[in-house]
Amino acid sequence: MNFIRSIYNPAIYHGQNKKAPFFEGWYYKIMSRDQQHKFAIIPGIYIGKNKYSFIQILDGNNGNSQFIKFPFESFISNNKDFHVQIENNSFELDKISLDILHNDLKIEGSLSFENVKGWPIKLLSPGIMGWYSFIPKMECNHGILGFNHNIYGSLNIEQKEIDFTHGRGYIEKDWGKSFPEGYIWMQSNHFSTPNISFSGSIAIIPWLKKSFLGFIVGLYIDETLFKFATYSNAKIKNLYIDSSKVVWEIEDKNYYLKIISEKGIIGELKGPTLKDMEMRVAESLNAKIKITLKRKKDNTIVFDDIGFHGGLEIAGDIDKLLSFKTLS
């Protein structure tokens, strides 16, 4: 695939002719209207000594997860638009269709998504990674494909019909050689008003045989995106992690942002390393995320609210990640 074309199309499959190790995965978070049912559904591929496609399922209510392997040959995609097929399961930006029977897990049904809007693609900042998108051989690339969209349809999960119509959805993806050595990721689009979505991640970024601390935060309020990132010269003022929460404070020249994330029920997903899908990733889908955004020039509170049903991952070498924070 043409390198420049792939930069401006983060949703599409980037693995054409890639050599091992390589992974790519799309993350769909779905929540029913009554907020009683929440799932993460992750299709993807891994190319290494072992080569296969997969679908991961996480039930946010109880932390139960499934990692379902498929033959690599069952993965069908192209480099023109985003459409992924894994056996009888299909995934696109505006819809998914599932037909899974694995051990005791049976899922059938289709969902469609309305008004899907991702991180803006601009000429010099093509997506969430900003100008970092132009740097070749990044070990992990990231994209936000849908901040906060309507869901229509239902899924039959373990012989129970679950209606997701008028629920809320979120879509992102990662691709590259491996997940970061240590990282924190959090996300919510269930605040007191409907048109708000938040996503943030901080990670140890390996590059040119060295590592640095990189972070990206987006707070989407109505049609306005407040962003804080390493590449935009935002700075970490505080980062604290204990057994129950993450406290993260960031500022740039105009705004101060404080995030307090409280863990919920934990499930375990698999993440890619240079060897295989062997990283253990603990994820909540019912974390609470309190966000306060202030304008620095007059200390005015722009936003102060709590997001529920939040996604929260704390994975890898967190002690090493914390040791980098003074360098941001």
Say whether the peptide bond before residue 71 is cis (omega within 30 degrees of 0): no
Tokens 């109505």 belong to: 222
Listed residue (1, 20, 15) closest to 277, CA to CA: 20
> Is 74 in a helix, a strand, or coil?
helix
CA distance 147 to 262: 21
pLDDT at position 118 is 96
Tokens 């991952």 belong to: 313
CA distance 265 to 61: 7
CA distance readout (Å), 278 to 24, 176, 194, 274 = 14, 15, 37, 9
State the DSSP string of 25-55.
EEEEEEE-TTS--EEEEEEEEEESSSEEEEE
Name the token pair of 230. Answer: 């390493």
pLDDT at position 328 is 44
Alpha helical stretches, state H, the chain: 3-7, 318-324
pLDDT tens string 84-129: 999 999 999 999 999 999 888 899 999 999 999 999 999 989 999 9
CA distance 73 to 84: 12
pLDDT at position 244 is 87
Residue 280 has pLDDT above 60, yes or no: yes
Residue 326 has pLDDT above 80, yes or no: no
Q: Give the count of beta carbons closer than 10 Å to the beta carbon of residue 42.
A: 21
pTM for this model (two decimals)? 0.96
Percent of the chain residues past pLDDT 90, beyond the cut: 85
Least confident range of 237-241, 317-321, 323-327? 323-327
